[in-house]
């Protein structure tokens, strides 16, 4: 079996895709590589190498059946993670406790150990910055207040295929977060 570069994420959903598309239209002059709307996601476990996705998919199905959909809000769009040497443009917000707990549990189950103890940062990457443009983007002092809201209701195992024009994502399996919020 061929090894795959995979990660676990929650797809953004229609509302967040629409908000990101509007931001993109309003900033079409920026020299960045915009993330395609269907690839927008919140990363729960960063990439790792995997031979067989079947056991991970089965575990994600079980986790999803015990987890509830999470409403999220994003309040700022800015360069990140280091604003002086940015690699991306992202929307950030305060992570609901249920999402932080889900991230911790997923990182403990599938991460490399060091990630499990890192605080979860709710972020949605909307563009990547070419190294040559990082200084120009940093000098724009981009820091916009926003009010983007959405519901994260699907847990996915993604394959990340690295290409010269950027990573392409393919969903290997998806599970609906199905526990009701009673």
- Quickly tell me which residue has 């960063």 as its tokens: 46
What is the pLDDT at residue 130? 83
79 located within any domain = yes
Cα(91)–Cα(110) distance, integer angstroms: 25
Evaluate whether residue 35 is within a structural domain.
Answer: yes
Going by their DSSP bridges, the two strands 70-80 and 41-50 should be labelled as unpaired
Left (φ > 0), alpha (ψ -120 to 50) or beta: where does 59 sit?
alpha
Domain containing residue 52: 4-176
Predicted confidence at residue 140, as pLDDT, reads: 79
Q: Give 118's contacts (C-beta < 8 A, 6+ positions apart).
A: 107
Print pLDDT tens along the chain (182 aa). 689 999 999 999 999 999 999 999 999 888 899 999 999 999 999 999 999 999 999 999 999 999 999 999 999 999 999 888 888 999 999 999 999 999 998 998 887 655 555 688 999 999 998 877 777 777 777 889 999 999 999 999 999 998 887 788 999 999 999 865 54
Report pLDDT for 163: 84
CATH number of the CATH domain containing 73: 3.90.1140.10
Q: 181 in a domain, yes or no?
A: no
Let me know if residue 83 belongs to a domain.
yes
Cα-atom radius of gyration of the chain, to the nearest Å? 16
What is the number of structural domains in the chain?
Answer: 1
- Vertex 95 angle, CA 91 and 97, to 5°: 170
The predicted pLDDT at position 182 comes to: 44
pLDDT score, position 134: 75
Instruction: Classify residue 130: in a domain, yes or no.
Output: yes
């Amino acid at each position: 079996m061929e090894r795959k570069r995979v990660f676990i994420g929650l797809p953004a959903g229609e509302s967040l895709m629409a908000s990101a598309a509007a931001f993109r239209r309003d900033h079409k002059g920026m020299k960045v590589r915009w993330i395609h709307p269907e690839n927008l996601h919140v990363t729960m476990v960063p990439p790792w190498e995997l031979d067989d996705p079947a056991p991970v998919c089965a575990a994600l199905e079980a986790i999803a059946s015990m987890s509830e959909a999470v409403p999220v809000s994003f309040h700022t769009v800015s360069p990140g993670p280091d604003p002086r040497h940015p690699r991306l443009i992202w929307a950030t917000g305060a992570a609901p406790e249920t999402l932080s707990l889900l991230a911790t549990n997923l990182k403990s189950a599938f991460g490399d150990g060091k990630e499990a103890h890192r605080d979860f940062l709710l972020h949605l990457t909307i563009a990547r910055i070419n190294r040559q443009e990082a200084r120009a983007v940093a000098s724009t002092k981009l820091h916009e207040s926003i009010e983007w809201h959405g519901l994260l209701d699907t847990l996915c195992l993604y394959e990340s295929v690295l290409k010269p024009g950027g990573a392409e994502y393919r969903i290997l399996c998806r599970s609906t977060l199905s526990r009701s919020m009673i």
